[in-house]
Amino acid sequence: MTPSKKPDNKLTNPVMEIIYGRRSVRKYADKDVPDEIIREIIRAGTYAPTAVNKQPWRFVVIKNRKLIDELDEKAKTIFVSMFRDSTVPELAVYAKNLAKPEVRILYEAPVFILVFTSPDAMNEHDCALAAENMMLAAHSLGIGSCWIGLAAGLGSDETFLKETGVPKDHKLVAPLIFGYPAKGALPAPKRNPDVILKWIS
């Protein structure tokens, strides 16, 4: 299903189309994303569910191309140093791949937003929900996005945290990239419908 094609379903509406049409984007056009759009995406994130209205999310927004490239390299280096000798095959393969100079994990995206929270397990859930809101809002505005789990190591880099003013007790939950997709929308991969373990009526 593509965003322009409605599913043959009476329950279809614009919100459902956005949910079903969103997909991770890893190739971006060389085009700036206006600040007002970025602010609106973040605002959508702040409307996520939040336990006892803590609103624990805090955001670092980076649009500087040189800095994004530097953070791309730094995140790669951190991941490789952590997992190159891993006994988990998948992690070892990732580390080997990331050691290649040409590999980019931020995909030259024009916007890099990191979602942080104070150290509370419940807060992490809230921030993950905020990140999903942001990616859905971005898709509705014609902006692509991707959650870059490989960049999680930036959350433990003291130099980066100091330079961006992130408090020491805050934790990085979601490293997200945004930008205009370099190519037209493709259908989201099919989902396995057989996911209900038990239905009790």
Determine the pLDDT at residue 188: 82
Q: What is the pLDDT of residues 169-182, one digit of tens each?
A: 999 999 999 999 99
Can you give the pLDDT at residue 7? 54
pTM of the model: 0.91
- Residue 109 pLDDT > 90: yes
Ramachandran area for residue 109 (φ above 0: left; ψ -120 to 50: alpha; else beta): beta
Query: Which domains does the chain carry?
Result: 27-65+106-179 (3.40.109.10)
Q: Judging by beta carbons within 10 Å of its beta carbon (0-12, 13-18, 19+), is residue 14 exposed, middle or buried?
A: exposed
Q: State residue 172 phi and psi, 5-degree precision.
A: -75, 125
Please say whether the beta carbons of 186 and 139 come within 8 A: no
Query: Both ends of the chain: CA-CA distance in Å?
Result: 31
